A and B are shown apart, each in its own frame.
Chain A
Amino acid sequence: MLHTVNKSPFEKNSLETCLRLIDDNSAILLIEDGVYGALKNTSISETVIDAQKITKIYVLGPDLKARGLDKSSLISNIEVIDYKGFVNLTVENEKIQNWL
């Protein structure tokens, strides 16, 4: 299952809830303000790194770039993808859950 999160984890609990209710073999894509959840050295970085043990995490590049960030700002092993990659994730995963 593909889970998308579009909220900053510093404002809303969408990422926290997603991580609590995510199944093994899932993928998470951070979009819009959700991309802030991928930053390293934050108060939630450890939680995200922990989640990487069971879940592959992606970030939408255009949203990252728009916010003045790039791969060097991110926790390692988080993959930056474009909209084409976003579409491909929705094809590869049979179901989609959007944590708003």
Chain B
Amino acid sequence: MEEELESGVVKKFLYINRRAPHGTVYAHEALEVVLIGAAFEQDVSLAFIDDGVFQLKKDQDTSEINTKNFSKIFAALEMYDVEKLYVERESLESRGLKEDDLSVDVKVIDSSEMKKLITDSEVIFNF
């Protein structure tokens, strides 16, 4: 159903995730865009800032709230060639988290590097 673009244009896409995972649908539906977007062969990066870092917390189990545990999808992103995941160190530390608390391999970067990542991107999605 999804048609590939024929233009051959490759842009730098950045998905900025700033929401915690289960209280609202934004994080889940953002991930659905990432998965569909992967088929378009753009240059994709994901940034986790503010409460967005909670999306990557390991051991999430939604069985008792009866919602979809989409956190498992992060581990599968590699198969979609989505490999650039960046976490802002300040956001992580201010929430008492360490890299070990996260479910997938990410690159932890400081605010100045995050600033550069945002500036260097061409299309930025916020959900």
Contact = CB atoms under 8 A, between A and B. Distances in A.
B50 interface: yes
Interface residues of B, number: 17
A97 B49 contact: no
Given A22-B115, A98-B126, A17 B121 contact: no
A21 B111 CA distance: 6
Interface string A43-69: 000000000000000000000000000
B3 to A, nearest CB: 26
Nearest to A14: B18
A1 B126 contact: no
Given A1-B118, A95-B122, 8 more contacts: A21-B118, A22-B115, A23-B115, A23-B116, A95-B121, A97-B118, A97-B124, A99-B18
Interface of A: 1, 13, 17, 20-23, 95-100
